Amino acid sequence: MRRQRNVKIVATLGPASDTHDMIRALHEAGADVFRLNMSHGTHEEIRAKHQIIREIEKELDSPIAILADLQGPKLRVGAFANGEETLEEGAAFRLDLDEAEGDSSRVNLPHPEIFAALKTGAHLLVNDGKIRLKVNRCDAESADCTVVTGGVISNRKGVNVPDVVLPLAALSEKDRDDLEFACSLGVDWLALSFVQRPRDVIEARELAAGRAAIMSKIEKPSAVENFDEILDVSDGIMVARGDLGVELPVQAVPPIQKRLTRKCRAAAKPVIVATQMLESMIESPMPTRAEVSDVATAIYEGSDAIMLSAESAAGSYPIEAVRTMDKVATEVEADTNYHGIIAASRDGRQSGVADAIVAAAREIAETTDIKAICCFTQSGTTALLTARERPGVPIVALTSQRDTARRLALSWGCTCFMVGELSRFKMAVVNAARVARAAGFATDKDQIVVMAGVPFNVPGTTNILRVAPCDERLIYSTDPG
């Protein structure tokens, strides 16, 4: 399914979007990737959604990426005798391992790993940062705190610890079970929550064993600090602004978002900007102007994808939310300023033949009357390098690998098509011309750029480029091979 935009849309599935008709409608409205939130729903419910997506993919002959988002370790306070308490600013409050119900002076925090890492002066944030506590004294079983920001605290609210790296694995036992289940289903991407350091990603990669690409969610200060190393071992990145905005000052998030987006593009790895993009559309058929500007900013920055969470999973207007994103993206990408901004943020560094080939393809396409860049790719690397260039013409990714086509559905500008395995470059050119014509990218009077690696079917060998006509008779007459 050809889109009239390059940025991709990720839609989270949930109670508002769990039927065949709704999921198909979301895809037709603009959703390129479907997110399965492993925090909610049983394995059987997840399996049913996965099966529906694959049925729709077959019906529409359109590769669809499926992203399974692992829950990660959830840190929560215990229960209160009265259900909730109001904490006053300046008051003393204790967190401890005592399982007794809490009151206005203390509550259970059933996570000894937090007490093991806490230091005097550290802060704890409860209920998405609405309550802030400062640690005055701590040991292996408790922490005496002062309430810095007061408010209502109630049963099992989440806890964030922004000031320390916790001795927690990014994968809980539930995550390990969910990871194996998701890989057995055949999901394309695994999103890893609460990454703190590279070894968190390496552990998930070893468990996935090549069955799914690994996307690291950046939502902790330690992940921002260790970002370059995390990016090196990740296949993609999600800028998860929800928890990031809790653990860091909110004004720090926009520059971090911009910086991480540029680094991902330079590394030719897809990046998703996520959380609260069209939050008001959970209940309203129209977004706020600020939300539209937020979505537009992520597109102007060159992100590969923008994501809907509760808007499509539990909201009242899931299709309208996808359509809104689609319209905003189409409008932004039609802006002449967009192309200038994207070009200005291009990283011109080249480190090999493949980098030079894709850079040349983009320059040729933008300086001559080329209708599309067609790249043959087995692992997806050639298409990712081409997407990094952000060319002004469509990218047509051709592959014999179904999993590659699906994973590339997340990457900027890539429209993926399945082709048979090839052994000769001339047949690659012929196949590219046929696909470009059939999909409406070009006519038989137009020209395309074709890239491939010879020998074929060997990952990482992009080494040949040709400007070719879309008329097969001309291809055969000009290439005796």
Residue 127 buriedness (CB in 10 A; 0-12 / 13-18 / 19+): middle
User: Contact 82/155 with Cβ under 8 angstroms?
Assistant: no
- Distance between CA 53 and CA 407 in Å, rounded? 14
Q: How many residues does the chain have?
A: 481
* E runs forming strands in 220-377: 236-240, 271-274, 305-308, 370-376
Active-site position among 54, 76, 259, 426: 76
Active-site position among 5, 8, 12, 35: 35
List the alpha helices (DSSP H) in 40-135: 43-60, 112-117
Which DSSP state fits 101? P
Q: 189 phi and psi, to 5 degrees?
A: -130, 145
Please report which helix (H) or strand (E) contains residue 136, including its range.
strand 131-138
- Distance between CA 265 and CA 287 in Å, rounded? 28
CA atoms within 13 A of residue 354's CA, in its CB half-sphere: 20
Active-site position among 275, 324, 381, 415: 275
With a CB cutoff of 8 Å and minimum separation 6, the contacts of 303 are 7, 239, 261, 271, 272, 273, 412
DSSP string spanning 184-207? HHT-SEEEETT--SHHHHHHHHHH
Active-site position among 49, 106, 132, 217: 217
Residue 353 buriedness (CB in 10 A; 0-12 / 13-18 / 19+): middle
- Catalytic residue list contains 76: yes
Closest by CA to 257, choosing from 241, 243, 233, is 241
- Catalytic residue list contains 434: no
Query: Which residue, chain included where needed, has tokens 């983009």?
Result: 362
Helix, strand, coil in percent for the chain, rounding step 5: 40, 25, 35
Structure tokens at 39: 């925090």
- Catalytic residue list contains 390: no
- Catalytic residue list contains 47: no
Query: Which residue, chain included where needed, has tokens 């529906």?
Result: 52
Instruction: Tell me which residues are annotated as active site.
Output: 35, 76, 217, 275
